[in-house]
Amino acid sequence: MPTDIVIDMGSKKTVLYSNNRVLLMQPSVVTVDADTGEPLYFGDKAFLTVGRTPDTLTPVFPIAHGVIADYDIAESMLKTYMEKVFGNRVVKPRAIITLPSGLTEMQHHSVSDLAESAGGRNASTIESSLACALAVGIDFKKPQGAMIIDIGAGVTDVATISMGGISQCSNINIAGNDFDQSIVKYVKRKYKILIGTATAEKIKIAIGSATRHEFEIALTAKGRHISSGLPTTFEMTSLEIYDAIKDQLSEIFNGIKKVLQNTPPDIVGDIMNTGIYLTGGSAKLRGLDEYLQRALGTKVIVPEKPELTAVKGAALALKQPGLLKNNDFFYRSVQKLKIDLE
């Protein structure tokens, strides 16, 4: 059994990772009793209840925009996932948790404390952008600028990096979930049909595109007509997906541009020469790298399995803490943070 564990609690999924493999990947959702608030279902089982629950049950997503929105539910969820992987072990695994860049000391402390309460030990945190930079092989010993754009489900984490430290960063609260919501609104407006976010996500994954293409892909989906209230089918194309999400893509680009505008010119020069790394689950959206490449004027590199880039980098940091010796944010243990906050 592993003695080290990486925890990535995202708005859509929670990942436990160790020894170069995913130990668990489950939706970050808990179904609770609407009256008592008691958690009843977790992960995949809870996700199946979204949009299908009676008034007595409520699905709760305890992570919003990459940070804890409901501490108690998040702790209960993570504890359940840890027990599923490790059982009731006497020796608890050492834990490192990935977080968006630019969060407060209190937020780092809160997440570290949660991880220890859920079954980890010596919990520490690392910014996702730095973890991704390690995973793609950026050498923190060299004075070489780099840029990471990590687009998940709830947040787009943008950071420019040099010598193991973050130069500029921004959390843009627009990401994969917002694409799904935009598709829901588009279908309602154009076809007068109601669909859920789960259906919208399936459509996005199947035919979604961040660019216009000469050849379109079409998909038939099901929903409920607003007027009749009856089940109905409709056809949607990849061009329509682009039309639905183009405003969100533009906002993400504007957020990236602001980070670059505030970054020292020499670092920007390095970035334009070496390219930008695009990571996170939403990096798999068809044509997104092409869209950003055109908008930013430099190559965009998407690593293999971009949704796992952050956890792979965090695992490296946990095994080799010296890699981040220039970074003031690394390895803030719960004990040290408590001292700092007093």
Question: Are the C-beta atoms of residues 292 and 283 closer than 8 Å to each other?
Answer: no
Give yes or no on whether 4-131+311-341 and 140-302 have one common fold. yes
Burial of 70 (0-12, 13-18, 19+ CB in 10 A): middle
Tokens of 231: 């089940």
**What's the one-letter identity of residue 62?**
P
Domain layout of the chain by residue ranges: 4-131+311-341, 140-302
- pLDDT, position 340: 39
Q: Domain 4-131+311-341 in CATH: superfamily?
A: ATPase, nucleotide binding domain (3.30.420.40)
Confidence of residue 24 (pLDDT cuts 50, 70, 90): very high
Q: Which helix (H) or strand (E) holds 19?
A: none
How far apart are the C-alpha atoms of 158 and 162, rounded to whole Å? 14
- pLDDT, position 320: 82
Q: What's the pLDDT tens digit per position in 199-218? A: 999 999 999 999 987 778 89
- pLDDT, position 214: 72
**DSSP tally for the chain: helices H, then strands E:** 11, 18
Beta strand pairing status for 165-172 and 193-194?
A: unpaired
Question: Are the C-beta atoms of residues 269 and 244 closer than 8 Å to each other?
Answer: no
Beta strand pairing status for 30-33 and 57-60?
A: antiparallel
Q: What's the pLDDT tens digit per position in 62-94? A: 999 989 999 999 999 999 999 999 887 657 899
Classify domain 140-302 at the CATH class level: alpha beta
- pLDDT, position 216: 84
How far apart are the C-alpha atoms of 119 and 123, rounded to whole Å? 10
Q: What's the pLDDT tens digit per position in 152-201? A: 999 999 999 988 888 999 999 999 999 999 999 999 999 999 999 999 99
Residue 11 has pLDDT above 50, yes or no: yes
